[in-house]
């Protein structure tokens, strides 16, 4: 082989090596981003995050400098861009600067990250927000004022109000960021500057908040207001919780709750409270509620009067499953009114609460039953398609004196998937999967026509079994 040929082959090989070598030019990872708290308590475990990306998508290891001389080692490799979480405890108060390096698989290191400062110590609460509340007042009325603050360490705090002429008591501890309310009656005309401060469990106090200017003048024309947004809930399955929104401009001395039993012409007081909520045991009765806000100079009664009386639906003729096109019966959860539905379409699945059946092809009986819609697709001859049919169960009322008594409390053993409509008139308690109670009264059954005449009462308050109507 000639010398010229050997030299040419060497040059070609070197050129190929150079081309292959240029396919991956390694570069160092970018400096990590450091995230974590900026304050902490001595001895507390603090969580930090470190994230770097590598231009060549190599895995990345991290070396953390905690700023307190703690020795550290390189972390195990992690995918490029994935956060590395690390925890650290600073036993002593002070100000520390956390920084980190990133290194790829080829030992290429990034520059140091920017320093993340951390102040360790016991810090007082921040000054509270300026109090909010009525700024134009009249003497002798209770007014409510609110404030809140953030504790740098997330600790609970207590508040104290300066009323412009006197210092209030320290209130109970509340969570950092939670509002605290205190009340004041201004007896003397004048201008008051209301402010607040906070204190944590260590006794560390914030500065005073900015002040709210309050003018007390007999010329002010708004001495109070009525409760709003009255809503009823089931406290238990036979007792009621009434909730409302307090007047926005003042705090009443108390609220008086009144109840008008179904069928009665008048409201009777059933109790009073200083909070915007009240539990009432109506002893099995239903009725309307109203709330009166009582001030030193007047009384303001809610215009809303929510009721626990069930919603009645008059007599409807329901076809046995094989006898007609409107065989499903269901209640609207907003109005409480009932309607009939075609059960041969799956569109009715989420609307039907019961149907009438003799559990056989045809409709000759001899007995008709109200049944759980969930099992309707398996009922013989009904042609009910599969679907998300409601689960509803039934119980007889043979233990009740009248149809106005509370329904039996729901238990799986007491309520069944079907109940026979006999003898007539037949009373049936109903409990739906979503927690509503209803009363069914069947007054007639005609096996020749395949129909049952029923009327119902639906309790719109979920989980309440009161049925006086």
More confident residue, 428 or 397: 428
Mean of the pLDDT values across residues 239-243?
A: 97
pLDDT exceeds cutoff 70 at 369: yes
pLDDT exceeds cutoff 50 at 462: yes
406 Cβ partners below 8 Å, 6+ apart? Answer: 238, 284, 465, 466, 467
Tokens (6 digits) for 343: 């059960």
Pairing of strands 116-120, 39-40: parallel
Are 169 and 157 contacting, i.e. CB atoms less than 8 angstroms apart? no
Whole-number pLDDT of residue 381 = 76
The band of 6, judged by pLDDT with boundaries at 50, 70 and 90, is: very low
pLDDT exceeds cutoff 70 at 8: no
Whole-number pLDDT of residue 134 = 86
In whole angstroms, give the CA distance from residue 464 to residue 181. 33
Tokens (6 digits) for 292: 């009166």
pLDDT exceeds cutoff 60 at 250: yes
Mean of the pLDDT values across residues 46-54?
A: 96
- SS3 letters for 191-221? EEEEEEEEEECCCCECCCCCCEEEEECCCCC
pLDDT in tens, 160-212: 999 999 999 999 999 999 999 999 999 899 999 999 999 999 999 999 999 99
pLDDT in tens, 79-128: 999 999 999 999 999 999 999 999 999 999 999 999 999 999 999 999 99
pLDDT exceeds cutoff 60 at 9: no
pLDDT exceeds cutoff 60 at 18: no
In whole angstroms, give the CA distance from residue 117 to residue 36. 9
Mean of the pLDDT values across residues 54-71?
A: 95
pLDDT exceeds cutoff 90 at 24: no
Are 439 and 415 contacting, i.e. CB atoms less than 8 angstroms apart? no
In whole angstroms, give the CA distance from residue 350 to residue 346. 8
pLDDT exceeds cutoff 60 at 4: no
With tokens 């309307």, the residue in question is: 288
Pairing of strands 136-137, 212-216: parallel
Whole-number pLDDT of residue 296 = 67
Tokens (6 digits) for 384: 């009910």
From the number of C-beta atoms within 10 Å of its C-beta (0-12, 13-18, 19+), residue 390 rates as buried
pLDDT exceeds cutoff 90 at 261: yes
pLDDT exceeds cutoff 90 at 371: yes
Q: What is the mean pLDDT of the chain?
A: 91
Nearest CA among 346, 365, 388 for reference residue 449: 365
Ordered domains of the chain (ranges, CATH): 33-120 (2.60.40.10), 132-216 (2.60.40.10), 228-301 (2.60.40.10), 311-458 (no CATH)
pLDDT exceeds cutoff 90 at 254: no
Whole-number pLDDT of residue 15 = 44
Whole-number pLDDT of residue 223 = 62
From the number of C-beta atoms within 10 Å of its C-beta (0-12, 13-18, 19+), residue 362 rates as middle
Strands (E), 320-450: 328-331, 338-341, 354-357, 369-371, 392-396, 418-420, 426-432, 437-446
The band of 399, judged by pLDDT with boundaries at 50, 70 and 90, is: low
Whole-number pLDDT of residue 21 = 45
In whole angstroms, give the CA distance from residue 465 to residue 238. 6
Mean of the pLDDT values across residues 125-153?
A: 91
């Amino acid at each position: 082989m000639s010398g010229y040929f050997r030299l040419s082959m060497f040059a070609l090989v070197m050129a190929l090596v150079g081309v292959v070598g240029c396919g991956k030019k390694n570069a160092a990872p970018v400096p990590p981003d450091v995230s974590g708290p900026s304050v902490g308590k001595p001895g507390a475990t603090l969580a930090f995050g470190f994230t770097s990306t590598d231009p060549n998508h190599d895995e990345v290891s991290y070396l953390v400098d905690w700023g307190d001389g703690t020795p550290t080692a390189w972390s195990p490799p992690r995918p490029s861009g994935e956060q590395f979480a690390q925890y650290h405890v600073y036993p002593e108060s002070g100000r520390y600067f956390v920084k980190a390096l990133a290194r790829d698989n080829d030992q290429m290191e990034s520059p140091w990250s920017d320093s993340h400062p951390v102040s360790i110590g016991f810090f007082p609460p921040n000054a509270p927000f300026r109090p909010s509340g009525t700024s134009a007042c009249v003497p002798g009325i209770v007014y409510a004022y609110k404030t809140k603050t953030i504790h740098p360490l997330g600790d609970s705090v207590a508040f104290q109000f300066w009323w412009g002429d006197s210092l209030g008591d320290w209130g109970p501890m509340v969570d950092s960021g939670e509002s605290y309310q205190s009340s004041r009656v201004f007896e003397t005309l004048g201008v008051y500057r209301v402010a607040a401060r906070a204190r944590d469990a260590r006794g560390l106090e914030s500065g005073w908040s900015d002040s709210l200017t309050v003018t007390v003048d007999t010329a002010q024309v708004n001495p109070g207001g009525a409760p709003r947004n009255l809503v009823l809930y089931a406290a238990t399955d036979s007792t009621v919780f009434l909730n409302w929104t307090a007047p926005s401009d003042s705090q009443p001395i108390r609220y008086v709750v009144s109840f008008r039993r179904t069928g009665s012409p008048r409201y009777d007081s059933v109790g009073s409270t200083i909070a915007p909520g009240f539990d009432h045991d109506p002893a099995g009765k239903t009725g309307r509620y109203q709330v009166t806000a009582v001030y030193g100079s007047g009384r303001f009664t809610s215009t809303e009067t929510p009721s626990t009386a069930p919603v009645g639906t008059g007599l409807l003729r329901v076809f046995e499953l094989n006898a007609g096109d409107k065989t499903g019966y269901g209640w609207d959860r907003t109005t409480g009114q009932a309607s009939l539905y075609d059960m041969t379409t799956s569109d009715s699945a989420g609307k039907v609460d019961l149907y009438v059946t003799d559990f056989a092809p045809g409709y000759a009986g001899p007995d008709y039953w109200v049944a759980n819609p969930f099992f309707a697709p398996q009922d013989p001859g009904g042609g009910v398609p599969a679907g998300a049919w409601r689960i509803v169960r039934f119980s007889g009322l043979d233990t009740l004196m009248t149809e106005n008594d509370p329904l039996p409390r729901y238990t799986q053993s007491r309520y069944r998937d079907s109940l026979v409509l006999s003898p007539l008139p037949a009373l049936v308690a109903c409990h739906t999967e979503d927690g509503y109670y209803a009363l069914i009264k069947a007054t007639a059954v005609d096996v020749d026509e395949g129909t049952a005449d029923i009327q119902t009462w639906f309790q719109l308050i979920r989980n309440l079994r009161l049925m006086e109507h």
